[in-house]
Structure 1
Amino acid sequence: MFSLAAPHAKGKSAEDNIFAANNRAIALAEKIGNDQVINGTVGSILDEDGNLVVLDVVKNAFKELTPKEICAYAPIQGYRKFLDDCIDQCFGESRPEGYIDACSTPGGTGVLHHVIHNYSEVGDEVLITDWHWGAYDSLIDDNNRKVRSFSFLTEDGHFNTSAFRDAVTDILSRQDNIVIILNGIANNPTGYCMSVDEWQAAVDVLKEATKGGDKNAILVPDVAYLDYSGEKQECRKFFKVFGGLPKNILVVCAYTLSKGFTMYGQRMGAMIGITSDKDVIKEFVDINQYSSRATWSNCNSAAQNAMIRICEDPEKIKELDADRAQYFRLIQERAAIFMKEAKEEGVKFVPYISGFFITIPVTNSQAVCDDLEKQHVFLVPLKKGIRLAVCSVSKAKMEGLAHKLALAIKVAGAKQ
C-alpha cells in the first residue's frame, strides 16, 4: 500500500471493538426493538429503561450557563476555581499531605497522554496491569513507548504485590524513570478495588526501588470510577498514602468528569499532582501546560463552568452526592444479580467489588461473543476474557444472562 505517513505512524489504525460492538447492538435494537437486545458494551450509566443517565444537578447547571461561560476560551491550565473543585472532589476528606496542583485535560485520557509524554522517554517501558482498559496500549504505543504489564491479581484475588515489585525492579534496572498507570479503584474491566493496605504496599515498593535517589517513579492512579466505588469518604481513604513521599516519587491522579458528573462527551478532566517538593509541583504545572498548548491548547469552558456552579453551592453538592449514591446502589444490585446466577451456572468471574464492569476470564472470547450476538446479547471480547458493563444492563435484562453466557461458552468450546 502506498503511504505518505512518517515511519512512526505507518500501520496504525483506531479499530475499537467496544464501539464496534455497541454500534451493532444499537443497530439491532432499532430494527427489532430495544427490549429484545442486551447491550453490555457501553461504559456509561443507563437507567432501567435503557436511557443515558445525566444527573439532574448537572443538567440544571448547564441550563444556567451564560453564552460567555459556554463559549469563551478557558485558561490553558484551566479555571482556578475548576482546578480547586477537582482537587476537593477527588480527595474529599482524604487530601494527602504535600504540594498539590492541577492542570485541566480532556478527560482522563488527556492525563495519561501527558504523563506518558512528559515523564518517560521514547522507547521506555510503561507499566500497567494485565487487566486494563484497552486504550492504555494505544496511548503508550502512539507515544513510541512500550507496554509492560504485570499480573494485577493473585490466584486468591488480591493485589499482586510480588509481581508488581518484580516488574518495577526490572524496569528500573534499565530506566531512570518508571511511569505506572494503576487503575486500582473500580478497575476497568474487572471491578476490583485495591484496599488502603494494598495501595500502601504499592507505594512501599516504589519507595524501596527508588531509595538511592538516582531513580524516579511516577505513579498514576486512574480514578475514573471513583464515585461509584463505595461510600463517598470511605472509598477515598487510600489517597492519604500518597502524602509525605520522597521527592523522587510523583503521584498524578487521573481525574475525570465523565463518570462522576456524567459529562462523558464533554471530555473534561484534570491531572492532579501530589509531591513533597515545591520545585516538582511547579515543573509539573509548567511542562504540562506547555504540552497542552502544543496539543489541544485549552479545554472545554462549559464543562468547567458547570462544575464550578455545582461546587459553589452546598445544596447542589448534597444533590450530587445523593444522585451518585442512588446509581451506585443500582449498579451494585445489577452486579449482584449476575454474580449470584453466575455462581449457580458455574461461570467464573474476576473478583468484583464495585464499578461499571465485571470480567469473565475465558479462552476463545471472540467466539463466545459471536455466539452471544446470535442471541442478541452484546458483550466485549478481551484478550483473556469478556467484559460485561453492569452499568448499562437493566436488572430485568441481567436475569438469565449468566445462563446464556454459560451456554455460549460451551458452544464455543471455550475454557475458564
Structure 2
Amino acid sequence: MKEFIMAQQNGRNIPSEDKIFGISRLANEMIEKKGKDAVTNATIGALLDDDGKLVVLSSVVEVLRNLTPEDYAEYAPIGGTADFKKSIKKAAFGKYMPNCFTEAVATPGGTGAIRNTIANYSKIGDQVLTSDWFWATYSSIAGEIGRSVTTYSLFDEAGNFNITAFERKVDELLSVQESLVIIINTPAHNPTGYSLTLQDWDNLLNTVKAVAAEDKKVTLFIDVAYIDFAGDPDKYREFLPKLENLQTNILPIIGYSSSKTFTLYGMRCGAMICMTPIKEIAEEFVRVCQFSARASWSNCTRASMVVLSKIYEDNTLLEKVNEERKHYCDLLLKRGKAFEEEASKVGLKIVPFDAGFFASIPCADPDGASKMLQEEGIFLVPLAKGLRVSVASIPEEKCRMLPGKILSVLNSMK
C-alpha cells in the first residue's frame, strides 16, 4: 500500500500510529492475554494511583458536578472568560505575580500554547530551539506549521545544565535568523525530570540578554506543565521574578496546563501567558494569539474555565484542592525517588533527575531495548537518546523493580 493515496505529505513525517499511544496499546493487549500483574505499563503521561486508576481530584469533581448547563454548553470567548484569565494567572504564578504587563489566552492544554507561540513568534522556515532530551511532539507541532526543531545538549559531562552548548546554539541560530523561539521545559522536565536551578536561569538569561542587545528578537516559551507536581509550589516558582521586565525584545511566555494541575486531562484546559514591560507588546500578544486560536481550534471548553474560576473564587475550596493535590504530589515524589535510589543501587545510569512524571535512561539503541523489555512485560517509551519511564503511572514497588530489569536488558545488548 502506498504511503499516501489522497493526502499530501507536505514535508511532514507522519507515522502510521503515535509511538507512545502505540506502545501503550501493545501493553493493554498483553494485559488482556496475560493479566494485569504480568505487565508494567510505564508509558502513560498521566498520574495513576497504585491500583492503576486515573487520579482525578475529588475536590475538582465536586465543582464539576455543580455546574449549570450554561456553564458547560455556552461558547467561551476565544481568549477565555475574564474570570478564567484572572484565575489562570493566579494558578500559574502563585505568590510570584509579576510586576509587569501580563496577558493570558486560553489554549487546549499546554499543546495549544506551544502551537500558538511557534506560529506567532517565528517565521515559516525558522528553526525552534530546545534541548536534545525533549517531548517529541514539539517537532510535530513545529513541522505541522512549516518550522523545525533543533537542539543543544542539555547536560554537560558533569550532569549540569550545559550553558556552553546552549550559548553556542543560540549564537548559531541568530546568525541566520532575525528571531528565535526557545522552548524551556522546567521544572520537572519531560522526559528527564530535571529542573533548572536558579543559577541555571541566571546563566541562560545572561546569554539571551547578550544576543537581544544585538537587536535580535527572542521568545522564551517556558513549558511549566508539571510545575505543581514537582514539589513545594513556592520553591519551584522562585525563578519567575527573573523573567520580569527583561529587554523589550525578549518575550517570556508561560505555557500552563490545567490538564495536569487540576487533573482535567480530557477537558483540554490551559493557557499561554506573556510577561512584558511594554503594554503594546502585551496587547499584540492577545491579538495575534486569539487570531491563531480562531483559525485552529476556535475556542476552548467553557466548563473547565468555570471550574477553575470557581476554585479561585472560594479560598476554602482552593485550600481543599491544594491539599488533595499535595497528597498525590507526595506520592509521585516517593515513586521518582524510589526509581532514582534503585537505579543508583544497581548501577543503572539515568539522566539527572529532580522530580515530575518521568525519568530517562540513556542508551544506544532505544527501540531495540524497548522491544526486548516488552518481551518481559515492561513497556517504556523509546526516545532519540534513550528510554522514558513514567513513574507517574506505576506504583512504588514497580519503580524499584524496573532499574534492575532495564540494566539486565541493556547489558545483554552490549
Q: State how far apart, in whole Å, the 1-side matches of 2:14 and 2:399 are.
A: 37
Which amino acid in 2 is paired with 1:373? Q
Shift of 1:33: 2.1
Q: State how far apart, in whole Å, the 1-side matches of 2:46 and 2:305 are.
A: 20
Could you say which residue in structure 2 is the equivalent of 1:372? Answer: 373
Whether 1:240 aligns to 2:241 is: yes
Q: State how far apart, in whole Å, the 1-side matches of 2:169 and 2:121 are.
A: 18
Could you say which residue in structure 2 is the equivalent of 1:296? Answer: 297
Q: Give RMSD over aligned pairs.
A: 1.4
Map 1:283-322 to 2 at 5 A.
Answer: 283-322=284-323
TM-score by length of 1: 0.96
Which amino acid in 2 is paired with 1:155? E
Q: State how far apart, in whole Å, the 1-side matches of 2:95 and 2:400 are.
A: 38
Could you say which residue in structure 2 is the equivalent of 1:56? Answer: 58
Whether 1:201 aligns to 2:203 is: yes
Contact 1:216 1:248 in 2 (8 A): yes
Shift of 1:335: 1.7
Deviations 1:245-289 (A, max 9, x none): 111111111111111111111111000011111110000000111
SS in 1 for 2:48: coil
Could you say which residue in structure 1 is the equivalent of 2:136? Answer: 134
Q: State how far apart, in whole Å, the 2-side matches of 1:31 and 1:313 are.
A: 48
Map 1:15-414 to 2 at 5 A.
Answer: 15-212=17-214, 214-413=215-414
Shift of 1:400: 2.0
Shift of 1:14: 6.0
Greater alpha carbon shift after TM alignment, 325-334 vs 70-79: 325-334
Contact 1:126 1:146 in 2 (8 A): yes
Which amino acid in 2 is paired with 1:29? I
Which amino acid in 2 is paired with 1:356? F
Deviations 1:379-414 (A, max 9, x none): 11111110000011101222322111111112233x
Contact 1:69 1:305 in 2 (8 A): yes
Shift of 1:8: 2.1
Instruction: Classify 1:166/1:9 alpha carbon distance in 2 versus 1 (closer, same or farther; 3 Å).
Output: closer
Greater alpha carbon shift after TM alignment, 154-163 vs 291-300: 154-163
Shift of 1:328: 1.6
Q: State how far apart, in whole Å, the 2-side matches of 1:60 and 1:175 are.
A: 49
Shift of 1:183: 0.4
Instruction: Classify 1:261/1:182 alpha carbon distance in 2 versus 1 (closer, same or farther; 3 Å).
Output: same
Q: State how far apart, in whole Å, the 1-side matches of 2:99 and 2:251 are.
A: 13
Deviations 1:136-160 (A, max 9, x none): 0111111111221001111212211
SS in 2 for 1:272: strand
Q: State how far apart, in whole Å, the 1-side matches of 2:380 and 2:322 are.
A: 30
Q: State how far apart, in whole Å, the 1-side matches of 2:16 and 2:65 are.
A: 35
Shift of 1:97: 2.3
Contact 2:192 2:353 in 1 (8 A): yes
Shift of 1:200: 2.2
TM-score by length of 2: 0.96
| Structure 1: runs of 5+ lacking an equivalent | none
Q: State how far apart, in whole Å, the 1-side matches of 2:400 and 2:204 are.
A: 38
Shift of 1:11: 5.6
Q: State how far apart, in whole Å, the 1-side matches of 2:18 and 2:315 are.
A: 40
Q: State how far apart, in whole Å, the 1-side matches of 2:10 and 2:389 are.
A: 34
SS in 1 for 2:284: helix
Greater alpha carbon shift after TM alignment, 42-51 vs 199-208: 199-208
Contact 2:12 2:144 in 1 (8 A): no
Contact 1:57 1:310 in 2 (8 A): no
Shift of 1:3: 4.1
Deviations 1:210-263 (A, max 9, x none): 113x31100000000000112011111111100011111111111111111111
Q: State how far apart, in whole Å, the 2-side matches of 1:69 and 1:83 are.
A: 16
Q: State how far apart, in whole Å, the 1-side matches of 2:12 and 2:210 are.
A: 40
Q: State how far apart, in whole Å, the 2-side matches of 1:334 and 1:195 are.
A: 22
SS in 1 for 2:404: helix
- In the alignment of these two chains, the number of paired residues is 412
Instruction: Classify 1:407/1:72 alpha carbon distance in 2 versus 1 (closer, same or farther; 3 Å).
Output: same
Q: State how far apart, in whole Å, the 2-side matches of 1:10 and 1:360 are.
A: 28
SS in 1 for 2:259: coil
Which amino acid in 1 is paired with 2:330? R
Contact 1:96 1:241 in 2 (8 A): no
Instruction: Classify 1:371/1:216 alpha carbon distance in 2 versus 1 (closer, same or farther; 3 Å).
Output: same
Percent sequence identity over aligned pairs = 38
| Structure 2: runs of 5+ lacking an equivalent | none
Q: State how far apart, in whole Å, the 2-side matches of 1:373 and 1:47 are.
A: 22
Which amino acid in 2 is paired with 1:388? V
Which amino acid in 2 is paired with 1:128? T
